[in-house]
Amino acid sequence: MISQGGARLAVACVPLAIACAFLWPGGADIASVILVVIGVAVLLRARGLAAPPPLALAGLWIAFLLLVAIYAMAWGAPGRPFKGLEKHLPLALGPFVAVALSAACHRLGFDFNRLVALFLTGLVGGALVMLVRSGALGMFAHGWPQFSDDLLGKVNRNYAALACGVALIAIVALTAYLAAAKHIRMLWRAGAIAGLALIFLGTGVFLAMLQSRTAYAATAIGLAIWCGLVMRAGWRGAGLRAGLAVPATIVVVAAACVAFYFPLISERISAGGSTAVYLTQMYEMLRGNAVDAASLSMIGAERLQLVAVALDLIRQRPWLGWGPDASQLITLFSPYADIRYLTQFHNGYLQVLVSFGVIGGILNAALVVALLWSALRRRRALSADRLAPPLFAATVALVAYVLVTNVTESIIFVKPVAIICMILAALACMKDRATTGDIVRQH
């Protein structure tokens, strides 16, 4: 089904895609295209390697995107509809990538855990190099700086905080995985764990200094989910030492860092009551209630104004939306002068509804549910390829991170998160090596 070289290329593209997503987005696109092309080529020879519901819904979503783009161009929607397509494709590409990776792992005898570990390694490496290149190390010399957008060059606070959050989740998973990896020499493991611990501390401190409220919440929830799942597996006997000692240590270290930086964190979270106001008023606006002028004058004003503009646009075109490219809608239709320079709605869920309407929202949600159901079925299957608890917990924590962050940021359209979603979707749809072997022998 796949040559030895093709299999190695497919596996190598996994860490390469996520690392390049932080460093060279064009490289991430190239790696993604390679994986999809290999997946389609294998699929034409062995249809049994596909996960039927996710693949069918992925194909339907891609067809829907093309039709909406054509329709938007026909009626003269603002922007360039076909330019915006690539932002909405990664999740749907996951089932096709899964076919390529299933065939590659079978061909190479590659362990499923090693594939996920490579993905997490690429994630940590790409995020770390991006932060260092942007001048993150220089910020430590300033103690607790008043953050300004020019401190990291072209990288803004939210993007840097995203890199820190997903890297922290990946680091703890790799640390716990290495602690239980008996096939790796003790000296190598000790060195790698020591290095990861140092990176964990530095990244955690940097996250606190960035003062991103959304990243605080998403990272805390992601790490709490990871620790809970790993400790649950440890209590059930899935490696007591690695299942309990490592997450317990991480909890202690994380608590100490939060306690030390608590004044900085609490000041940002409680500033003007903006976080609570934003969530409360956004809920009221979704219910159709008006937002009072006092709320719009607080720190969260821009986000609330964006919600108001998005809801108005959805009401104008409720079924098929405004098309894939929403970058000009705020400039053209916002009654609030302060936000007309923005090109995205800082809420991924609302932006999908603005672009594709209720029909697109339902179709996209159906694809997500199908992927989650496929992942659950794979987890429950009695297979030698089941993910180790630390790595499985990392995939769940990354999903939680994306879901939480997407409330206040259009995070799913950022290249690193798009690649994360594509790879997680692929992992959910992959066949284990035994099943793949049976399908290969039939063909």
pLDDT tens digits along 302-325: 788 888 899 999 999 999 999 999
Highest mean pLDDT among 10-24, 229-243, 249-263, 377-391: 10-24
Q: What is the pLDDT of residues 349-378, one digit of tens each?
A: 999 999 999 999 999 999 999 999 999 887
Predicted confidence band of residue 188 (pLDDT cuts 50, 70, 90): confident
What backbone phi and psi angles, to 5 degrees, belong to 50? -85, 150
**Rounded-to-integer distance, Cα 313 and Cα 96, Å:** 33
User: Do 158 and 211 contact (CB within 8 A), yes or no?
Assistant: no
Confidence band of 157 (pLDDT split at 50, 70, 90): confident
Give residue 53's pLDDT band: very low, low, confident or very high (50, 70, 90).
Answer: very high
Question: Would you place residue 403 in the very low, low, confident or very high pLDDT band (cuts 50, 70, 90)?
Answer: very high
The CA distance from 358 to 371, in Å, is: 20
Greater pLDDT, 440 or 230: 230
Q: Residue 11: what pLDDT?
A: 97
Average pLDDT, the chain: 86
Query: In this model, does residue 154 exceed pLDDT 80?
Result: no
Residue 161 contacts by C-beta under 8 Å, 6 or more apart in sequence? 207, 210, 212, 214, 215
> Does the structure show a pLDDT above 60 at 255?
yes
**pLDDT > 90? residue 265:** no
CA 331 – CA 17 distance, rounded (Å): 33
